């Protein structure tokens, strides 16, 4: 290593390595502030900003967190255009399934599930079309999830899910914007929405007090 490549000597780092107890071990963490009404409005207006593909990626990553971890990445110019699904499960051994820390599910590692994501306003028509296409693939899907950024009334959801189950034989679940918001804030996944949807948000700084600093403060209060 030449003299130019040698790292610059830092007296502070040198002393901190020798006497770490004399230095503060607290850290400052920056976190994005994302209020629920802001995210709700942002999701409802995705079509106006042509963020359909970003919503697909966001939905996939959210489902990996709360439904099942073994979802395929979609490739090609338009994700899911040729495969009739936006993502689907892939088989996983029972031993590997035991290593999952998120999206734990008793059946997804051995069954074939399909996921369809849409931002169309007429969510009911789009959901029916997607489920019929999934059935016509004859790949043996047992579940189909339709994810939409629209608001869906509970009675309409239940009626369509029941009808599609009768027509296709698949267990169909319709997940709307209310479900998305509930999962984001219940599971503290705000950072996932910020990153995948490229949301402009404000950041706040929080100081995480280290053990050394805590002991010092505790001794001063005696």
Round to whole Å and give the CA distance between 162 and 32. Answer: 40
Share of the chain above pLDDT 90, in %: 54
What pLDDT shows up at residue 104? Answer: 59
Decide: 152 and 128 in contact? Cβ < 8 Å.
no
Confidence (pLDDT) at 79:
46
Look up the CATH architecture of domain 51-202.
Answer: 3-Layer(aba) Sandwich (3.40)
Among 75, 151, 155, 74, residue whose Cα is nearest residue 114: 74
Q: Which residues pair with 207 in a beta bridge?
A: 28
Residue 136: predicted pLDDT: 94
- What pLDDT does 221 receive? 76
Q: Which two tokens stand for residue 199?
A: 């949301």
Neighbours of 95 (CB within 10 A): 7
| pLDDT tens-digit readout, 56-109 | 999 999 999 999 888 988 765 554 445 688 999 988 776 666 556 555 566 777
- Residue written as token pair 């999701």: 43
Structure-token pair, residue 164: 């599609």
Backbone angles phi, psi at 164, to 5 degrees: -70, -30
Sheet holding 87-88, edge to edge: 87-88, 113-118, 143-148, 171-175
- pTM score, two decimals? 0.75
Residue ranges, the chain, pLDDT below 70:
1-7, 30-32, 75-83, 94-106, 203-204, 222
Instruction: Decide: residue 91, CB within 10 A, 0-12 exposed, 13-18 middle, 19+ buried.
Output: exposed
The pair of structure tokens assigned to 160 is: 């369509």
């Amino acid at each position: 290593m030449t003299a130019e490549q040698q790292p610059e000597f830092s007296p502070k780092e040198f002393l901190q390595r020798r006497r770490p107890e004399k230095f503060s071990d607290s850290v400052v963490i920056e976190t994005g502030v994302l209020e629920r009404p802001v995210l709700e409005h942002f999701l409802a207006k995705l079509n106006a900003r042509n963020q359909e593909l970003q919503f697909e990626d966001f939905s996939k990553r959210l489902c990996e967190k709360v439904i099942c971890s073994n979802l395929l990445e979609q490739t090609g110019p338009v994700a899911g255009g040729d495969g009739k699904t936006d993502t689907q499960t892939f088989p996983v051994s029972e031993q590997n399934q035991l290593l999952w820390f998120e999206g734990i599910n008793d059946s997804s590692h051995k069954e074939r599930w399909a996921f369809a994501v849409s931002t169309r306003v007429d969510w009911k028509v789009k959901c029916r079309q997607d489920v019929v296409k999934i059935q016509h693939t004859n790949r043996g899907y047992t579940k189909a999830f339709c994810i939409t950024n629209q608001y869906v009334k509970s009675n309409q959801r239940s009626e369509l899910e029941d009808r599609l189950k009768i027509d296709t034989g698949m267990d169909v679940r319709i997940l709307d914007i209310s479900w998305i918001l509930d999962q984001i804030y219940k599971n503290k996944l705000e950072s996932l929405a910020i990153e995948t949807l490229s949301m402009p948000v404000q950041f706040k700084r929080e100081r995480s007090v280290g053990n050394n600093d805590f002991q010092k403060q505790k001794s001063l209060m005696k």
